Each structure stands twice: as structure tokens, then as C-alpha cells.
A and B are shown apart, each in its own frame.
Chain A
């Protein structure tokens, strides 16, 4: 972090020195343009790249900043920075509204892109129709010889301001990326269900991202208004402007902090070179289009990451923590005794999907420290039951009490924060993140500080034998390590009860043995209650204290493994009702 920051400052100093070496105003204007779009694309990338919400309407925030400051200055003589602050606030409020409505009504992916596009168009038509702010003819920001203005005779000053802002947004992005917030953003991009499963409040994180991004974009608009000194709706609010923030990010690589900057350099240089070389009105954008097509087709993660090739993400402070730190670690040791106190009580829970009663009147209890298995043939409603317990779906009937508190109706992240963590049937790691980051995301939940979370995450890695894989991309893990990671992630939220959904599937006998041993160890040393769905009967036999059999959404039998296996009703459920005596 320190080293990259130093590198950033050094690079900035080099760029800052350029106006001192040349007074070629063309060079300065091109550089200003590069850094302006680098700045804006970096702002866009906080929401578009990090949280994965595609905004095609960022020009609105840009325009609100630019117009508010300019109009207040031109019409009332307010100081541009005061007007700018108002603009930033207005943009943030709008962003909050858009973000809230989108998250509330689940407008994601394409729908988010279309809503932001439409908001951009509405702003464009409003600006064109409103004569007070210049209407479609535009607004000129005149030079006023007052103290309250933002006019510099030397264009290099604007360049320096924009350069400094770019440095600022990059530093901010790096900071966000190193901390909890940035990791949460990436988790949401990778998988929303898994993020909720790690206790992340998705709505809050999405709102944070879009507000930060919009406020910064608006600030860029403020400077731009006084640099260009002429605003017209098309070149401020146009869809084109929004796209010009997206394209550099895509060109350079949305996953890289410096991606948008490099993308902007390519984007602006390409256009300027074409403009000088070709005398054809649309040529610059034709070339941009023609370059963009192969980039999207062949270098889908952007020019920089693809060209670097075996590009290793060195993100997150991945250094081995001292052994002493691991040993002195703060994972609380829980009572290992199997007491009879009830941790989870499921009472008459039912859930219907359309005409199908997936879970019907299911009641059972689970004691603290117990290892309880849920088995049953395909389609018995086991996974639905887990989704109900984890807060991913709401039951139609019945209640669920966990640790003395009603949890039916709570959201998944709230349930997780109460101490009920789950794994997913098909492992859902945050694929593009490292193994360490996957666990860190969960470790943040109850850690008092960033350092504590790091230490916790290392401890969990060690506990699950994943230390050597810490820096690997989780999508690249083999199956046993993916399963371990899935359990480790749930474990890192320090749950009282852990729901394991078919963690044994696809493992060899040896791997299964390792997994069972590990779970037994966790259960014994930390007293964590384990509730698991499993088809691997050998695993059930070894791990479970007690077994519940589900069939057609109902509890068919309950008891020890030997008891349920001897139960003819269970055998029939598994092997099918037979006309022959088995």
C-alpha cells in the first residue's frame, strides 16, 4: 500500500512537471483531457467496476455538478466552489434515490443500466427545455472580475487541479480496496447471495458505492464547467458523455485500479490522433468503435490485464502472519460440552412455490453443540428448508427461533449476523477474489478492527489448511479446497450454528474423511452446532449425532443413523416403493 502510494505520487510529480517543461498549449489540453476522463472513469468504476452495477447515466451526476455551480455563479454570482458543493449534494441525493429504488425493486444488471440510461435522458430533456439554465442553446460562463470565481489564465492550473483530483480518486479507490468497504463491494459484484450469506448488508453497500461515485463525478463536473466555460445539454448530459466514462474503464480493465486511467489515455490519444490524421467528421469515434470491438471480443478483461498476461493480482496485504499471532488468536473457545439447551427451534414451517408445497409443516429442534443431519431423496425439500433457515426465503407458515429470537422474516445478512451461517449446495466462492479475501469478507463481520479481521482470516485459513492457497484466485481451486473454502467462509463469520449444504458431494473417500475429521474437530473444540444436508451416507454415519429424514417436504423419520436406516419407511423413500419385498 505504502509502496504503491509512493509510486503514485512519483508518477503524479512527473506528470505535474510537464507544464513546466513545455508551454505547448495543445499538449497541455490533451493531457488535461486524458486526466479528466481518467478521473471520471475512475469515479464510474467505483460503482460500475467494483460493485458491478452498470450505470449508463453517470453524465447526470457530472451535469448536476457542472450546471449547479455554473448557474449559481452566472445568475447569482455565488462562488463556484459553494455552488459546486451544492451540486455535489444534489448529485448525492439523486444517486441515493436511484440506488435505493433500484435495490428496493431489484433492478439489477440490464434493468439498472436501462434505468440509469433513462434518467440520463430525462435530465437531458429537462436541461434542454429549461431556459433559466440556458436551454438547448447552452450557457456561457463569463469571466467575472470578482474574488469569487474559478478562472485561471494559465491552462496548466486546470491541468494540475484535474491531475490532483485524479490522484485523489485513485488513492481513495486504493484505500477503499484495501479496507472492508472495497472487499464488500467486490463480494456484491461476484455473488449477491453469497455476500448476503457472509452477513453483508447489500443495500447499504450499494448505496455507499453509488453515492461516493456520484459525488466525485459531480465534483469533476464542477471543475469541468469552469475549465470549458460553455455548457450545452448535449455535451454535458448526453448519453455519449456517460459512455465516455464507461469506455475507458472497459478499455483499461474495470478490475484494475489504474485500468480506467490507462483506458482514458488510450481513448483520448486515439481520438486526438485520428482527428489530426483524418479529415472525416466522425472518424475519432469510428476508430474508438473499431478498437473497442476487438478489445471486447478478445481481451474481455481489458487491455492492461490481458497484455500483462500472467498478471498476478497482488491485492490485499498477503503476507504470512507470524505464527505467534495465529496462536494468540482471538477465536473464542466455546463450550465443548453437549448441553441440552435448544439453539434452533423450527415450528410447523411450510413454504409453497406456486402449486408445489416444497416444505410442509416441518418441526424439529437442534441442541447447542449437536451435529444434526438432514437427509432425504432428491426433491425432498432439504435445500428449501436451509434457504428458509438462512433467511433467503420467507416461510408461508410456522416460525423459526434461533438462540431465543424469531428469525423467520429476517433477511439473510441479518440472520448471519445473529450467528447462523450457511454454505451453498453449489459452492459460490467470490470467484475473482483470492482465497484470503473470500475469508476476510466473512471475518470482518465480528472483528473489532481491520487488523483483527486480518488476523482472524489468517487463523481461519490455517485452521482449514488453506494457508498455502491464500493468494490463489478462488475460482482456480480444486474441488476439495473449494469445499474447504466454502466451510471456512461460513466458519469465519463465527457462527453459533453452521448450515452445510452437501459439502461432501463430489469428494473422494479420503477427502471426505479429512472433511469429517475437520468438522468433528471444530465441533469439539469450539462447540459449534452443525446442521447438514448430505447424500454421502458414510459422512452422515460418521458425523451425525442424530438424523432427520425429509420426504415430499415433510419429516418422515428422526433418530440415530442406525434407527433411520432400519426404518422401512425410509428405505422405501430412498429405494422407491417396491412391489417385491427387498
Chain B
């Protein structure tokens, strides 16, 4: 029993590290551009399918395909900002939401049409391999997910808190007109952040593919998952999303051990409502 809990904890935390990366992607875009990207999970799904396709057609290892996919999705994210999100800045919430929802529609249904609703698995040889530490067996894919998640969040942390670009991004998030008046090109900063956000989603898709599988419904699932993460941590907060992702990974994993899947899912949404009501702005986000 204890071993099962420990196993669930560690393995959940490992996936949670990757969830955190995905959640940070969404929260960064929201924090800086102030538009909720309902298509976040759809980008993740698109990357997962792309990775699967590269494996199926050309036998490229899913992790290797990430090296191509993540930068391409960064570019895609920058284009997404300039083409679709920037015109929506300052528009009504309904319009902003429906725009990103429409983008999600297009991506999700294209995947449905191209790949059908069948689950697509990458049959890499190491998918079933695991590392045993005493009685605890940790699947290699999860270890990799945890490691990559840790690296990605560290890199983003350094980028945001240790570089000039990070200062520009945070200043633009805090007070856009004043950031402009200090010589910061806030539109470029927002575009870069959107690129990073989408790249995070893509990284999530690539790294989680060997653990789960690609399916068209993955888009909506991960959009909701990302929302849960950022509401857990406070909307717009980097560290909140980090903690939220790990918590969610663990609860999901433990929940699956003790409840059936749909009860576990439902409970997370109940938690979501409770948090929204009682801690609507989380710990860190500042409202001017």
C-alpha cells in the first residue's frame, strides 16, 4: 500500500513536471497578452500528432522530433500572435474567447479528419522499460518527462528572471503603456511570449506522446488541464503554474489508483470551482 502510494506520488510528480511546463505556457500568454488561449491544448495535440507521424513515416524517435517541432511551434506561435491575437487585444471577452475557440475547432477537427478518433501510440522499444529503485519501478518515459519538464521550467525561469528579454516581458505584463514609454517594444515581447507558450504546448505534446497516446480529444482535454493548473496556481503566475502542474500530476495519478478515471476528473473540476470562488486570483497575479 505504502509502496503504491509512493509509486503514485513519484510517477505523478514526474508527469506533473511536464504538465507544469504546459500550464506555464498558457499562463505566460494570458499574463502578458491578457487573452485566454482556448486553443492551447489543440497546439499540444497537433505537436503530438506531428511527432507520431514522423515516427510512423520516417522512424524518427519522438524525442528527436521535438528538436524540430518545438522551434517550429515557436515560429507558429509568433505568427499566431501577429495574425490573430494582436487584433483581438482590447476586444470583448466573447470575441477573444471565440477566436481562440475557433482556432481550436480547426486544429481539432483537422486532426479528427486526418487521423480519425483512433488512439495513436508510438511503439518505441523503451516505452515499457522502467527503472527500479528498490520496490519502486519508474517508467523511463515518465523519468524523461520529469527531466525535460524540469529543464524546460528552469530555462524559462532563467529566461524570464535573468535576461533583458525577461525584464521586457515582465514589464509589458505589469504595465504595458509604461513599458512602451521606457522603450520596450511590447508587441514584440507579446509575440515572443506567445511563441514560447505555444512551444511549451508542443514540448508537452512531444514528451507526453510516448506516455499516453495521440487522439483528437486530447486538445480539449489538455486545454482544460492547463486551465486547472493555472487556476490552482493563480492565473498569470509562473510559480503558481509550476506548483499547480505538479499537484495535478500527483492527484491525477493517485486519483486513478483510488477512484475510476471519470470520478477523479470530476473531483478536479469541483476543486477548480472551489478555487475559483475562494481564491480567484491565486497567490501572485496583480490586478491594477
Contacts and interface: CB of A to CB of B under 8 A. Distances in A.
Contact of B93 (A105, A110, A122, A126): A110
Interface in B90-105: 91-95, 97-99, 101-105
A16 interface: no
Contacts of B276: 107, 111, 114-115, 118
Interface string B211-235: 0000010001000100100010000
A113 interface: yes
B263 A289 contact: no
B93 A293 contact: no
B239 interface: no
A296 B98 contact: yes
B63 interface: no
B204 to A, nearest CB: 20
Interface stretch (B12-20, B160-168, B178-186, B265-273): B265-273
A27 interface: no
B125 interface: no
A95 interface: no
A292 B269 contact: no
Interface stretch (B111-119, B128-136, B150-158, B243-251): B111-119
A122 B263 CA distance: 9
B277 A283 contact: no
Contacts of B79: none
B257 interface: no
A300 B95 contact: yes
Contact of B266 (A110, A114, A129, A290): A129
Contacts of A157: none
A247 B98 contact: yes
B36 interface: yes
A114 B282 CA distance: 14
B109 A300 contact: no
A491 to B, nearest CB: 31
A328 interface: no
Contact of B269 (A107, A122, A250, A285): A122
Contacts of B216: 282
A109 interface: yes
A128 B265 CA distance: 11
A85 to B, nearest CB: 28
A400 B277 CA distance: 32
Contacts of A107: 276-277, 280
Interface residues of A, number: 44
Nearest to B270: A122
Interface of B: 36, 84, 87-88, 91-95, 97-99, 101-106, 108-113, 116, 216, 220, 224, 227, 231, 260, 262-263, 265-266, 269-270, 272-273, 276-278, 280
B98 A105 contact: no
B105 A288 contact: yes
B118 to A, nearest CB: 11
A282 B111 contact: yes
Of B105, B109, B110, B224, the most chain A CB neighbours within 10 A belong to B105
Contact of B105 (A128, A129, A286): A286
Interface in A96-113: 101, 105-107, 109-111, 113
Contacts of A247: 98
Contacts of B227: 114, 117
A326 to B, nearest CB: 38
A107 B280 CA distance: 8
B113 A283 contact: yes
Contact of A129 (B91, B106, B263, B273): B263
B262 to A, nearest CB: 5
B260 A293 contact: no
A109 B263 CA distance: 28
28 contacts: A54-B94, A106-B280, A109-B93, A110-B93, A111-B280, A114-B276, A115-B276, A115-B277, A121-B224, A122-B266, A122-B269, A122-B270, A125-B269, A128-B262, A246-B94, A246-B98, A250-B98, A281-B109, A286-B109, A286-B110, A286-B113, A293-B103, A296-B88, A296-B95, A296-B99, A297-B87, A297-B99, A300-B92
A506 B107 CA distance: 50
A76 interface: no
B106 A290 contact: yes
B88 A126 contact: no
Contacts of B93: 54, 109-110, 113
A293 B84 contact: yes
A254 interface: yes
Given A54-B97, A56-B97, 12 more contacts: A105-B278, A107-B276, A110-B36, A114-B276, A118-B272, A239-B220, A246-B94, A250-B94, A254-B94, A282-B110, A282-B112, A293-B99
Nearest to A250: B98
Contacts of A286: 105-106, 109-110, 113
A48 interface: yes
B252 to A, nearest CB: 13
A161 interface: no
A105 B99 CA distance: 28
Interface in A41-69: 48, 54, 56
Nearest to B235: A110
A393 interface: no
A300 B90 CA distance: 12
A522 interface: no
The 10 closest A-B pairs by CB, nearest first: A282-B109, A289-B105, A125-B266, A292-B102, A282-B112, A289-B106, A282-B113, A289-B102, A285-B109, A280-B113
A123 to B, nearest CB: 9
Contacts of A284: 109
Nearest to B105: A289
A292 B104 CA distance: 11
Contacts of B87: 297
Contacts of B99: 292-293, 296-297
A242 to B, nearest CB: 11
Interface string A516-542: 000000000000000000000000000
A119 interface: yes
A519 B272 CA distance: 52
A94 B118 CA distance: 36
Contacts of A121: 224, 265-266, 269
B108 A282 contact: yes
A394 interface: no
B162 to A, nearest CB: 30
Contacts of A126: 266
B227 to A, nearest CB: 7
Nearest to B220: A239
A292 B113 contact: no
A445 interface: no
A296 B93 CA distance: 11
A282 B114 CA distance: 8
B97 A113 contact: yes
Given A125-B262, A125-B265, A297-B87, A292 B105 contact: yes
Contacts of B220: 239
A239 B41 CA distance: 14
Interface string A446-485: 0000000000000000000000000000000000000000
